[in-house]
Amino acid sequence: MLQNMIDSSMKKSPWIFHINAGSCNGCDIELVSVLTPRYDAERYGFKLCGSPRQADIVVVSGPVTMQSRERLRRTLAQVPEPFCVVSLGSCPRSGNVFKGSYAIDGPLEKYVHVDVSVAGCTPKPEAIIAGLAQAAQLLEEKRKEARK
Amino acid sequence: MILPYLGQSFKNLFSKPVTEAFPAGDPPKAAEGYRGRLHYDPELCINCGMCMRVCAPQAITREIVPLENGDQQITFTYDMTSCTFCRMCSDFCTKKAITLTDDYMIVGSAHEDFLVSGTFIKAAPPKPKFTPEQLEAMKKAAAAKKAAAAAAADGEKKPEEKAEAKGEE
Amino acid sequence: MTNVLLYAVHLFLFPGLLFIVVMGLLLAGIDRKLVARMQNRVGASILQPWYDFLKCCGKETIIPRHARKGLFLGAPVACFVILISAALFIPVFGGLSMSFEGDVVVILYLLTAAGVAIIVGSAASGSPFAGVGLSREMVAMISYELPFVLVLLAVGALCGQDSAYGVTFSMDEIVRWQTENGSSLLHPAMIPAAIAMLFVIPCEIGMHPFDIAEAETEISEGTLTEYSGAPLGVFKLCHCVKMYVMTALFCALFLGGLSTGILLVDALLEVVFCIIVTFLCMTVPHAICARFKVEQVFKFYWTFVSALALISLLLVWIMR
């Protein structure tokens, strides 16, 4: 029973850790606006946490630049299981307008499996909330799978 | 005042929260002129390729499959995870086949969720009536006729007949 | 036999483990909800701290390569046990506690020891962020410790004025004096001390405007940087329990004489007063203030708050 309670609380308190992998700051601002009074993702237990060790959902924005590549890889290695990766905006999936630049070493799929993507440049906060909610559902499924 | 938000916070405690009900209800409508998910109408497209030329992130791909009867099956694919939503493709589209809707919910897991594509068949141009050999022969015949008419005009020098001969040519 | 059973109930059920944990989670949930409402949001449900704790228990526990394993995992448990034992000395309204002569000093020591357990845990994790966090935690401890001791002295001096030494360090004594002479909050000399105590509580707990040690945006959670999984959950639970311990201490020190004698009513009164104190000293500053700088916290506590506590102490000596 306790295990079932843990499973169900998995999706009720997903903590977000945000990695900026060379983003233009547009998606970062929209992600923070998700926690403002108007959109208030905290009613579903979302919380921005400062350390990757405490994260459940890792949100990556920006095309993966050469400078941020190693940091990204090291940060993702520190996140405890089970966790979800959400790519924010067009950049992490494809490189967007920076595609083909010598400073880009993307897409994000090369380094980690992306669970949910939110496209847009930048996505609206409603779309981000929908994406995060989808990722929170995935968290519970992942935990159930890991138990089996 | 040292604590400027004290009064406001107590006022908020007894007022209705400003939070949108969104994930519970329908997503709110986007603002006017919002550039969201792209809509492509293959019926209007003429395969000029202008959208591909102006697309900065190279989000548009075209696939041309030749069919047996000489027609071409053309597929345009617009990748929403690569798009910057700048609306250049829509502005440059002469036939207005591309429009940007106000649908901003572009969320998914698989890559297919983000692709907008359309296929149309471009008919081959109509076949010419005569083969090149026939055309050559007709040209020669016309030249010979002209030469004959010119020779006849030299003999008579009547303006009416000359005009008539020209008309026949 | 019945004595042992009663003791076990005392330790694990009513004023003990279960009650303390439930109260801590309740206070934390109410605080979060009220902060959200004061910021014009809907906010998380009141059960959110409980979900957070459960979720942390379900996560993988990572032990960093540079960490001392024993200390790293032992610190949260030590912190939790210390806080529970501190809470056992604090009387619920009816005076249900394991009181003895000098337990105020023990409570003071145990609360400091809980802070030290956090410092030891973060020092054992071997992260530079945790290093910065623990140094800030120490500054916070030095800041609130002085006014806290002064407040306890003032209350002790008021409630122990009839005793042999002129000052008492027994929780039982303090509660008994208040039952006879009315709550110490009604005594005019105690009002500055009560205000000082209201300021001490959020810093002791590490609530928002004074959470210099766990500043998540500046030093990535500071003392808790390397913690993940169940140890993190225990630390979060400690945070909630600390909220109950401090608010219950306030109730015992300043509102002790309101006991009705019926256990259930007393417990309910305790809950209500704890919520009111939480609202006054934690929710309101959290909702309207941004985080203080390190030196601002230090200056604030050693000048303004200490002065309030000192005035109260002097007034008690003059008025008796």
> Looking at the predicted structure, is the pLDDT value of residue B157 above 70?
no
Looking at the structure, do residues B36 and B109 belong to the same domain, yes or no? Answer: yes
| Segment B78-114, tens digit of pLDDT | 888 888 888 888 889 888 888 888 888 888 888 888 8
Is B18 in Cβ contact with C37 (below 8 Å)?
no
- Which chain A positions have a beta carbon within 8 Å of C225's beta carbon? 50-51, 53
Omega before A82 within 30 of 0, i.e. cis? yes
pLDDT value at residue C320: 73
Percentage of chain C surpassing pLDDT 90?
A: 4
For residue A107, give the DSSP letter. -
> Looking at the predicted structure, is the pLDDT value of residue B14 above 70?
yes
Residue C187, judged by CB atoms within 10 A of its CB (0-12, 13-18, 19+), counts as buried
Chain-centroid distance, C-alpha C7: 24
> In this structure, are strands A84-88 and B115-122 parallel, antiparallel, or unpaired?
unpaired
Tell me which amino acid residue C46 is: I
Q: How far is B50 from chain A (nearest CA, A)?
A: 18
Cα(C216)–Cα(C236) distance, rounded to whole angstroms? 14
Question: Which residues have CB under 8 Å from B121's CB, separation 6+?
Answer: B67, B71, B72, B73, B74
User: Where is average pLDDT lowest: A106-110, B155-159, C290-294?
Assistant: B155-159
C42 — contact with chain B (CB < 8 Å)?
A: yes
H or E stretch covering A47: strand A47-48
pLDDT value at residue C248: 86
H or E stretch covering C297: helix C294-300
Which positions 34-73 of A are in contact with B (Cβ < 8 Å)?
37-40, 43-44
Chains within contact range of chain C (3+ C-beta pairs < 8 Å): A, B
CA atoms within 13 A on the CB side of C8: 5
pLDDT value at residue B130: 78
Q: How many domains does chain B have?
A: 2
Chains within contact range of chain A (3+ C-beta pairs < 8 Å): B, C
pLDDT value at residue A59: 92
Cα(C84)–Cα(B145) distance, rounded to whole angstroms? 119
Q: How many CB pairs under 8 A join A and C?
A: 86
Output Rg (C-alpha) for chain C, integer angstroms: 19
Q: How far is A30 from chain B (nearest CA, A)?
A: 14
Tell which residue, C169, C157, C151, has the closest CA to residue C306: C151
pLDDT value at residue A86: 92
Residue C303, judged by CB atoms within 10 A of its CB (0-12, 13-18, 19+), counts as exposed
Q: What is the mean pLDDT of chain B?
A: 82
Question: Which residues have CB under 8 Å from A124's CB, separation 6+?
Answer: A30, B30, B104
pLDDT value at residue B143: 92
Q: How many domains does chain A have?
A: 1
Is C41 in Cβ contact with B18 (below 8 Å)?
yes
Is C41 in Cβ contact with B19 (below 8 Å)?
yes
pTM of the predicted structure, to 2 decimals: 0.82
Is B57 in Cβ contact with A90 (below 8 Å)?
yes
Please check whether residue B86 lies inside any domain of the structure: yes
Is C34 in Cβ contact with B6 (below 8 Å)?
no
Tell which residue, C8, C12, C50, has the closest CA to residue C28: C50
- Confidence class of residue A58 from pLDDT cuts 50, 70 and 90? very high
Looking at the DSSP bridge assignments, the partners of residue B78 are B60, B116
Residue C95, judged by CB atoms within 10 A of its CB (0-12, 13-18, 19+), counts as middle
Q: Cα–Cα distances in Å, from B103 out to B29, B35, B99?
A: 8, 8, 12
Looking at the structure, do residues B81 and B158 belong to the same domain, yes or no? Answer: no
> Looking at the predicted structure, is the pLDDT value of residue B167 above 70?
no
**What's the CATH code of the domain at A97?**
3.40.50.12280
Please check whether residue A147 lies inside any domain of the structure: no
Residue B64 belongs to domain spanning: 31-122
Looking at the DSSP bridge assignments, the partners of residue B66 are B72
Is A130 in Cβ contact with B84 (below 8 Å)?
no
User: Where is average pLDDT lowest: A4-8, B155-159, C141-145, C216-220?
Assistant: B155-159
- Confidence class of residue C97 from pLDDT cuts 50, 70 and 90? low
- Which chain A positions have a beta carbon within 8 Å of C129's beta carbon? 51
Looking at the DSSP bridge assignments, the partners of residue A61 are A20, A88
Domain positions in chain C are 2-319
Residue A98 belongs to domain spanning: 2-142
> Looking at the predicted structure, is the pLDDT value of residue C228 above 60?
yes
Chain-centroid distance, C-alpha A77: 14
A33 — contact with chain B (CB < 8 Å)?
A: no
Is A93 in Cβ contact with B81 (below 8 Å)?
yes
Q: Which two tokens stand for residue B61?
A: 């791909």
- Which chain C positions have a beta carbon within 8 Å of B20's beta carbon? none
Which positions 269-288 of C are in contact with A (Cβ < 8 Å)?
none
> Looking at the predicted structure, is the pLDDT value of residue A135 above 70?
yes
Please check whether residue A148 lies inside any domain of the structure: no
Is C54 in Cβ contact with A45 (below 8 Å)?
no
Is B10 in Cβ contact with C40 (below 8 Å)?
no
CA-CA-CA-CA torsion sign (C258, C263, C264, C270): positive
CA atoms within 13 A on the CB side of A49: 24
> Looking at the predicted structure, is the pLDDT value of residue C263 above 80?
no
Q: How far is C37 from chain A (nearest CA, A)?
A: 9
Looking at the structure, do residues B80 and B137 belong to the same domain, yes or no? Answer: no
CA-CA-CA-CA torsion sign (B20, B26, B30, B35): positive
**What's the CATH code of the domain at B88?**
3.30.70.3270
Any idea which residue has 């001791």 for tokens? Answer: C149
What is residue A104's three-state secondary structure?
strand
Interface test with C, best of B9, B11, B20 (most C CBs within 10 A): B9
Closest Cβ opposite residue B30 in set A90, A124, A133:
A124
| Segment B102-154, tens digit of pLDDT | 888 888 888 888 888 888 888 888 877 778 888 888 889 999 999 999 888 87
For residue A101, give the DSSP letter. -
Closest Cβ opposite residue A90 in set B30, B36, B81:
B81
Looking at the structure, do residues B73 and B142 belong to the same domain, yes or no? Answer: no
Looking at the structure, do residues B46 and B79 belong to the same domain, yes or no? Answer: yes
pLDDT value at residue C41: 86
Q: How far is C285 from chain B (nearest CA, A)?
A: 9
> Looking at the predicted structure, is the pLDDT value of residue B1 above 60?
no
Tell which residue, B118, B103, B104, B121, has the closest CA to residue B60: B118
A123 — contact with chain B (CB < 8 Å)?
A: yes
Note the residue count of chain A.
Answer: 148
Q: Each residue of C192-211: b (16+ CB within 10 Å) or e?
A: bbbbbbbbbbbbbbbbbbbb
| Segment C48-83, tens digit of pLDDT | 899 999 888 888 888 888 888 888 888 999 999 998
Q: Each residue of C61-82: b (16+ CB within 10 Å) or e?
A: bbbbeebbeeebbbbbebbbbb
Q: How far is A37 from chain B (nearest CA, A)?
A: 6
Please check whether residue A38 lies inside any domain of the structure: yes
- Confidence class of residue C274 from pLDDT cuts 50, 70 and 90? confident
Most confident of B24-28, C60-64, C265-269: C60-64
A15 — contact with chain B (CB < 8 Å)?
A: no
Is B17 in Cβ contact with C38 (below 8 Å)?
no
Q: What is the mean pLDDT of chain C?
A: 84
Cα(B92)–Cα(B95) distance, rounded to whole angstroms? 9
- Which chain B positions have a beta carbon within 8 Å of C37's beta carbon? 12-13, 17
Interface test with A, best of C31, C35, C40, C41 (most A CBs within 10 A): C41
Omega before B17 within 30 of 0, i.e. cis? no
Any idea which residue has 């002469």 for tokens? Answer: B94
Tell which residue, A37, A66, A58, A73, has the closest CA to residue A115: A58
Q: Which two tokens stand for residue C177?
A: 């004096």
Cα(B61)–Cα(B43) distance, rounded to whole angstroms? 18
pLDDT value at residue C270: 81
pLDDT value at residue B156: 66
Residues C256-281, mean pLDDT to the nearest whole number: 80
- Which chain B positions have a beta carbon within 8 Å of A136's beta carbon? none
Q: Which two tokens stand for residue B125?
A: 């141009």
Q: Cα–Cα distances in Å, from B109 out to A20, A119, B142, B153?
A: 20, 11, 69, 83
**B81 touches B114 (CB < 8 A):** yes
Q: Which two tokens stand for residue C293?
A: 């700088």
Closest Cβ opposite residue A43 in set C44, C62, C215:
C44
**B114 touches B108 (CB < 8 A):** yes
